[in-house]
Structure 1
Amino acid sequence: MKDGFCKRVEISGIVQGVGFRWQTRQLAVRLGICGWIKNRPDGIVEAVFQGTDVLVQGILEWCANGPSGATVTDLRLFECVYDPDILDFVIISDR
C-alpha cells in the first residue's frame, strides 16, 4: 500500500495481563493491518495501526472494548505518518 492510513492509540484501564496484545495481533494479521503493539510501564497498552481507513477504524472499534477480561476506560487517538517500511504486525516485548 503506497498511501495508507495510520493511527497511534493509547489504551488505558485493565488492559495488561488479559491477552490484549496477543488478541489484537491476531485480529490485525487477519485484517491485513500492519504496525505494532506494546505494554508500557505505566499500565497503558500502546499501538500503531496502518492500513485502509476502514480497516484501521474497525480495529480501533474493537480496541475500545478489548478482549474478554479487559476493561477499557480510555482510548486516546493520535495521528501518525504512514510508514511503508512496516510490513507486518508485531508485539514489542516488554522484557
Structure 2
Amino acid sequence: MAECCVRAWVTGKVQGVWFRRSTQHQALEYRLTGYAKNLPDGRVEVLLCGSRDAVKTVSEWLWQGPEGAQVTHVELDVLDQCHAPDHFATY
C-alpha cells in the first residue's frame, strides 16, 4: 500500500464550526495520522498521512467539511519528505 502525506490549507468559514474535530473524525475513520489546527488568518491547516486512497478521500472531504462550514478554497501540497506522526491531533 502506497503511503503519502498532504498538507492542506482550508479557507472559508472553517473556524468555530467543528471543522478540526470533524476532520479528525474523518482521518481516524480512514486510519490517517496528522493534525488539524486553526491559523491566525482564519484558515485551518491540515496534515494527512497514510494510504494514498485514504488521503485522497479525506482531502476531497475537506471541500465539504462539517455542517455549518462554508469552504471556499482548499490548497493542497503533496509532501515528498515528511515524517508521518503516529496519531491525529487537533490544535
> Please, what TM-score do these two structures have when normalized by structure 1?
0.89
For 1:79 and 1:54, locate their aligned partners in 2 and report how far apart those are by CA, in whole Å: 14
- Runs in 1 of length 4+ with deviation above 3 angstroms? none
What is the Cα deviation at residue 18 of structure 1? 0.2
Task: Tell me the secondary structure at the aligned position of residue 49 of structure 1.
Answer: strand
Query: Residue 62 of structure 2 aligns with which residue?
Result: 63
Q: What corresponds to 1:48 in structure 2?
A: 47
- Tell me the equivalent position of 1:19: 18
- CA offsets, 1:23-60, max 9 Å, x none? 11011112100001100000000011001110000001
Identity among equivalent pairs (%): 36
The unaligned stretches of length 5 or more in structure 1 are none
Provide structure 2 residue ranges, at least 5 long, that are not aligned to the other structure: none
**Alignment TM-score, normalising by the size of structure 2:** 0.92
Is residue 64 of structure 2 the alignment partner of residue 72 of structure 1? no
Do the aligned partners of 1:4 and 1:82 also contact (CA within 8 Å) in 2? no
**CA RMSD, Structure 1 to Structure 2 (Å):** 1.4
Report the residue type matching 2:56 in the other structure: Q
